[in-house]
């Protein structure tokens, strides 16, 4: 059956508009829920009211991508259990998830950044020590066979914003 006129255009337009549930949370859609003990990163500190709180080293004013700060969390894709807060067992897949924030608070979810993700700790292989991406909001995981104290720092080279997360593996 052929549709024409305004009614046909409205039906066609309605079919193109994605509808998300009223409870949809874009951060949860990207990374899963931000609740739980692993969320000891900067954004887990939270803020209340209308004032936006920025963590880590702040980005330069007037940066072309608008990034003011970066929130970081320990990322645990396989559900590795903490032996004590901030400490994980050897042979675990762990890493970092991050989002970039503009001055007024919204997340930058695009590829306007020049991120460097640096893993520091004992016996880190050279190929794992530095990861580069243009994604302003993303995740990066690593497999930890050995133990030690580790730090993952996420830096946007365009704005200068950076933040890090530290944890132990034993």
Tens-place pLDDT, residues 85-123? 889 889 889 999 999 999 999 999 999 999 999 999 999
Q: Dihedral angle at the C-alpha atoms of 47, 136, 123, 42, nearest 10 degrees?
A: 0
Say what the pLDDT of residue 17 is: 31
Distance in angstroms (rounded) separating the CA atoms of residues 150 and 165: 8
Q: What is the pLDDT of residues 6-47, one digit of tens each?
A: 333 333 333 333 333 333 333 333 333 332 333 445 444 444
| Cβ neighbour number for residue 144 with a 10 Å cutoff | 25
Predicted TM-score (pTM) of the model is 0.71
Distance in angstroms (rounded) separating the CA atoms of residues 83 and 132: 30
């Amino acid at each position: 059956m052929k549709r024409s006129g305004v009614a046909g255009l409205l039906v066609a337009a309605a079919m193109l508009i994605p509808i998300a549930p009223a409870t949809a949370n874009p951060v949860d859609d990207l990374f899963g829920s931000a609740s739980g003990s692993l969320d000891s990163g900067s954004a887990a500190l939270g803020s209340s009211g209308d004032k936006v709180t920025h963590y880590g080293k702040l980005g330069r004013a007037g940066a072309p991508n608008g990034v003011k700060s970066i929130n970081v969390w320990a990322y645990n894709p396989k559900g590795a259990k903490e032996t004590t807060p901030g400490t994980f067992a050897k042979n675990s897949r762990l890493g970092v998830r991050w989002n970039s924030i503009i001055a007024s608070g919204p997340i930058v979810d695009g590829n306007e950044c020049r991120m460097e993700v640096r893993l520091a700790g004992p016996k880190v292989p050279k190929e794992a020590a530095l990861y580069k991406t243009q994604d302003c909001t993303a995740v990066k995981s690593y497999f930890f066979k050995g133990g030690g104290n580790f730090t993952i720092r996420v830096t946007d080279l365009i704005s200068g914003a950076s933040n890090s997360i530290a944890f132990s593996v034993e």
